[in-house]
Amino acid sequence: MSQPLEVLRQFTRKVSTEGIVLLKNDQNILPLKISNVALFGRMQLHHYYSGTGSGGRVNLTDIENMIEVFSQYPKIDLNKKFIDLYTDWEIKNPFNHGDGSWKSEPWSQKEYLISKNLIIENKREEEIAIFILGRTAGEDKDNQNKSGSYKLTKIEEQMLLRIKEIYDKIIIILNTGNIIDMTFFEENDFSTILYFWHAGQDGMYGLADIITGLITPSGKLPITIPKSIKDYPKNEYDSSNKKIFYNEDIYVGYRYFETFEKDRVLYPFGYGLSYTEFSYESSDFIINNTQISFTAKIKNIGKCFGKEVLQVYLNHENSLIGKPLVELIAFSKTKYLKPQESQIINYNIDLKDFATFDDIGLLSENSFVIEKGKYNLYIGTCARTMKLVKTFIIKKNIIIEKHSYSIPSKIQFKRISNKNNSIIYEDTPDKRLEQEQVNLEKIHPNVSKLSKKDLSNIILGEGMYSKKVTPGTASAFGGITESLKEKGLKLFCCADGPSGIRMDNGSYATRIPIGTLLASTFNLSLIQELYQLVGHEMNNYQIDLLLAPGMNIQKNPLNGRNFEYFSEDPFLTGMMASATLKGLNKAGVTGVLKHFALNNQETLRTKIDVYVSERALREIYLKGFYYAIKNGAYAVMASYNKINNYYAASNKDLMTTILRDEWKFKGIVMTDWWSYLNDNNKTDTISMIDAGTDLYMVVEDAQTHKHNVIKNLNDETIISKLKLAATHIFNFNDDYKELRVKEIDFKKYQSNYLINEFDETKYEIKQEKENIIQAVNYQEERVDTYKIKQNKVEKLLEYTEEIDFLEEKIELKIEKPYNYKIISKKYLETTLSIQIKKITQFIEQNTILILLNKKVILTTLIQSQEDLYQTQVNLINGINALEIILPDRIKIESIKLEKNQI
């Protein structure tokens, strides 16, 4: 029986550490020293690990809650009295999962209001309070600007104020899939706040690694957090015919706030704190036509190891067309840098990728242009904190690409424009004449073998839960009939989704962190490696396509499905999606880009008609898809909604003019499940194939399904459209065969995985050893002295810790990082010799040894009884540090505890 990949589960923990965002640490409470900790908030018993709907339904073998995880960290001594209070309370107030349908689970859970006297009675001396607050939302269920959803409940506010009155040190953990209202936290001056996005199956370990200092936080916000939801620009909405107008145009997220409303920003795009500090500078700037290159040097000037994200922004002064104040055009995440270590990063940027779309004709109508004028290039650590790299002049306008009119809005409406960084409103361009596309694609040779019945069947996918493929998955398509199989078409299996493989037959899979967290890592190589492992898990279950990544723009925090998506920025979105596909493709499978396009709300998602300018469409809402398609996409899923009066799946301008003619996409396009097509029905497959969409998802049985193509199989125009759709499916069939040939064998991959990371993140073994030392050193909050020799490290303090790597290039792996048991202080009541024996037995029972027939010996000399507990702390935390910094590459061969002469 197929099983989830343990190596994937372990890797998700590493990913979660890089995506947790530290917003505030004003009292320097974090990282924790050895601390008494009281947990508050019912989410300590049942935290959220994904949103709801198709993107969050993954069957898990197990998941550990906050109490179970935090209990394994020696630096955290949990207050058991509060744990007992919450456990007893939950018996009478069970977690509300709803009735099983997607909409039924509430945004939040009822909270426990503990009396002030009870808190005082159970509080210990010098205790730190941690309050975890949870929110969820998802498919078919948007957030709302009300308490219990976007806003806090009265009970949550009362409880937080009680805790603040009694505790001097409070840590707020926001366990959400989306940003929430931060007003209460700011008004009441809570000093320590982290966004712990839904982090998958073992994300709670990642959180513990961060707050205990085993890992330094490096997550950055992929979205802007404003002071109030009222600060977002408003969209006109016509409820009578369900039309919504995107009046903010290209000014979405930080493009709006940094240009027009800087003082309304609480936390800017790209922001996130660390436990260390970095300096950065640039040099060697060169511009050649549209190509920019320069070098950046970033240095860790703090006291502990860490990573930083260097972000590159472009500003165009006094643009005639109107531009945002800044736009993200590149980013890089460093390796782990120890204190005083530097890294050089080289940037090569083509300004063509960030050209402006002139839909009015100020420079060249319906063209991508680089406008002449003065530009400023910046590097920084968020959209607000930057240094000037260079000011440069482009002397003349450059026309990059000229296009025909696509997806014109048949209704004019007002949109925001920029004049001297102040808002003005202008009309969108007038309705343009639609143009007939001419198909120049070559028909696949296998298509000539297809009968009319084959052509009718090939455009249908079967599901949900087709018995022809892996049970419980989303669909089967391609060789769904014997006749199509005989013509050389493989039977393909699709499965949801963005948070891991959904199989509604009860099969288990690994739940990975949500899109918001992945984007918060700003680490493309990390995401690529994550999805290569996801791809190998797909192979375990004979799944060919993952219905991911979700790529819609996080336009507004009330979108319930934001957790599936990456960012408010199209460039970051496109790069994250590209990394996802590269990873899947290395495993010989692929993903489906979704939802193409403008699926930015769940309310009325199958009825809403989105009116948007062509400029905003191309620069914001399609741009991420463009990057992903240029980086190796094979499949796209249409959205449910209408765009400028036409359903996306039946929108010829979108599916043919832009996607195929302009972007040269050769893969398949499928509808979302049970989509409406033009004329507001689900059987108008003629309009679907006429638009350039190839597959209707899903029907129960392709051979008996009634759709309007069947009555028109003698129409040569319809037959030509069917042949074109069949060509796209056969082209995908051929491309998939090539993917399978290029697949990296998982057994060989596992072997290499112990030795190498992807090129983008590889760093020297010597540096890794030093990182381990930094982790142990920093988390113990000591100023230790180290002597580093070629093959060993001696720690000079109350005890000596010797790590002998035996060979300069030896690499190891911890295989069971989740089974540590804490040896409590009470054991110190026994004799020293018995205690040493107990620790030795613990080590032998809870570590799996060996790697590449090499050995590593970790010897700790205990010099006093007082050092004994500290030794336990360092052994266990040292193992954790090894596992995190060298994930899945370390095995402890043996650990010996020897009693020194006292």
Percentage of the chain beyond pLDDT 70 is 81
Q: Which residue has the higher pLDDT, 864 or 658?
A: 658
1 contact partners, CB below 8 Å, separation of at least 6: none
Q: Which residue has the higher pLDDT, 784 or 159?
A: 159
Give the pLDDT confidence score for residue 778 in this predicted structure: 40
Give the Cβ contact number of residue 342 at 10 Å: 15
Kindly state the average pLDDT of the residues 229-247: 92
Give the Cβ contact number of residue 450 at 10 Å: 21
Kindly state the average pLDDT of the residues 312-317: 97
Map residue 47 onto helix, strand or coil: coil
Kindly state the average pLDDT of the residues 671-678: 95
Examine the pLDDT at 738 and tell me if it is beyond 70: yes
DSSP symbol at 115: -
Give the pLDDT confidence score for residue 209 in this predicted structure: 94
Among 358-362, 558-562, 632-636, 777-781, name the one with the lowest average pLDDT.
Answer: 777-781
Q: Which residue has the higher pLDDT, 379 or 819?
A: 379
Tokens coding 244: 């919504």
Kindly state the average pLDDT of the residues 486-501: 96
Kindly state the average pLDDT of the residues 3-13: 91
Residue 286 CA to its chain's centroid (Å): 33
Calculate Rg over the CA atoms of the chain. Answer: 28
Give the pLDDT confidence score for residue 889 in this predicted structure: 37
Question: Which residues are designated catalytic?
Answer: 672
Among 268-277, 361-370, 625-634, 838-847, name the one with the lowest average pLDDT.
Answer: 838-847
Tokens coding 67: 């109490």
Among 51-65, 493-507, 874-888, name the one with the lowest average pLDDT.
Answer: 874-888
- Residue by residue, DSSP assigns 778-833 as HHTT---EEEE-SSEEEEESSSEEEEE-SSTT-----S-TT------GGGGGS-HH
How big is the CA angle at 529 (ends 525 and 535), to the nearest 5 degrees?
Answer: 145
pLDDT band for 439, please (50, 70, 90 cuts). Answer: low
Reference 458, options 738, 734, 727, 739; nearest CA is 727
d(CA 902, CA 900): 6
pLDDT in tens, 103-145: 889 999 999 999 999 999 999 999 999 999 999 999 999 999 9
**pLDDT, the chain, mean:** 85
pLDDT in tens, 514-526: 999 999 999 999 9
Give the pLDDT confidence score for residue 679 in this predicted structure: 78
pLDDT in tens, 624-674: 999 999 998 999 999 999 999 999 999 999 999 999 999 999 999 999 999
Kindly state the average pLDDT of the residues 781-785: 29
Give the pLDDT confidence score for residue 449 in this predicted structure: 96
Among 577-591, 597-611, 807-821, 871-885, name the one with the lowest average pLDDT.
Answer: 807-821
Kindly state the average pLDDT of the residues 302-322: 95
Residue type, 182: M
Examine the pLDDT at 97 and tell me if it is beyond 50: yes
pLDDT band for 743, please (50, 70, 90 cuts). Answer: confident
Give the pLDDT confidence score for residue 20 in this predicted structure: 98
d(CA 624, CA 16): 23
Kindly state the average pLDDT of the residues 180-200: 98
Please answer whether residues 498 and 474 qualify as being in contact, where contact means their C-beta atoms are separated by less than 8 angstroms: no
Give the pLDDT confidence score for residue 637 in this predicted structure: 98
pLDDT band for 746, please (50, 70, 90 cuts). Answer: confident
DSSP symbol at 416: E
Examine the pLDDT at 882 and tell me if it is beyond 50: no
β-strand partners of 357: 368
Residue type, 694: D
pLDDT band for 438, please (50, 70, 90 cuts). Answer: low
Give the pLDDT confidence score for residue 871 in this predicted structure: 47
Give the pLDDT confidence score for residue 658 in this predicted structure: 95
